[in-house]
Amino acid sequence: MKKIDTNDPNWEKEAIRELAWGSLREQRRSRRWAIFFKLLTFVYIGVALWILADMPGLPGREATAGKDHTALIRLKGLIAEGATASAGKINKLLEQAFEDEHARGVILEINSPGGTPVEAATIYEKITSLRKAYPDKKLYVSVRDLCASGGYYVAAAADEIHAHRSSIVGSIGVRMDSFGVQELMKKLGVESRIITAGENKALLDPFSPLKPEQKAHLQKMLDQVHQHFIAAVRAGRGDRLKETDDIFSGLIWTAEEARKMGLVDGFKNSEQIARELIGEEEIVVLEPKKSLLQQLTEGVGDVSARALSALLRESDAPAPSLR
């Protein structure tokens, strides 16, 4: 509170003004803390309800036990270890879907530019294995925007592949990226000092020239992986595949064109596949199980953000604005 000068002839008015402002600030402070504790209470109640709702056998939990349905698994983004579409995560969901006797069929919804050959091949092999173990349960691929490279590697293992006519399909090839800046370094007067044990240990180092024999070695390696990819597509698509000179060249096509080549079977979306091909339009989406810690931190984070926003609005300091 500001010190009042009693020698000022208007000191009584100043004192009343300061008392009024002090009371107003105290009310604001009390309101902020009241909001904070109310929101904190809501956090605890929400977390408790979340945990209870996730426990089996309790009312309000969406359960599929005993109900026929179509299982849907989403493969989105890069197919790589540690990614959302890693072989470990996708294969667990595939096992869950095939082992569930009430899942009348499985849809693998793909929207992926590809990924690593090993991760894609691991999912392909899992689908092939599960289809043999459960011959009466079909797996259909539903392509969204993109099913290219490793994404198509996975799709080739399905009973059928369906897409939108404008979906992009293909890219049956293998690539390895690098670059060289040795000429630029010469112009700048920069010297590369790489010391190796093994004459090819610095293979693909951007500061060193690529030797012809090294390039030949890498090309041979890529060709081998490419042949693995081609063999998987041929095995998966069988007689439906109508091979052309460029089908395995790495080109991409719209699904409408890809169908003429036998890379796609039809133009049904996930709902149509469930209803018309599987015969069970009730779709249950299978997702990787989140740990309790992940669930709690996500829920608390959302509520905390709202609480912070409310406190900023009530504080004396100006709140951020987008206007």
The CA distance from 104 to 274, in Å, is 9
CA quadruple 303, 305, 311, 314: dihedral sign: negative
Own/partner contacts of 46-51, CB < 8 Å, gap of 24 or more, are 46/299, 46/303, 47/296, 47/299, 47/300, 50/295, 50/296, 50/299, 51/292
The 8-class DSSP code of residue 291 comes to P
Tokens found for residue 50: 């979340």
C-alpha dihedral, 310 to 313 to 314 to 318, nearest 10°: 150
Cα separation, 149 vs 156, in Å, equals: 11
**192 is a catalytic site residue:** no
Q: Please report which residue ranges of the chain form alpha helices under DSSP H.
A: 11-53, 87-99, 117-133, 150-155, 182-188, 212-237, 255-260, 270-272, 292-314
What three-state secondary structure class fits 39? Answer: helix
Catalytic residue among 38, 201, 211, 289: 201
179 CB-side CA count, 13 A: 3
Is position 315 annotated as part of the catalytic site? no
| Other C-beta atoms lying within 10 Å of the C-beta of residue 265 | 19
Catalytic residue, from 86, 142, 149, 167: name it. Answer: 149
Residues labelled as active-site residues: 149, 201
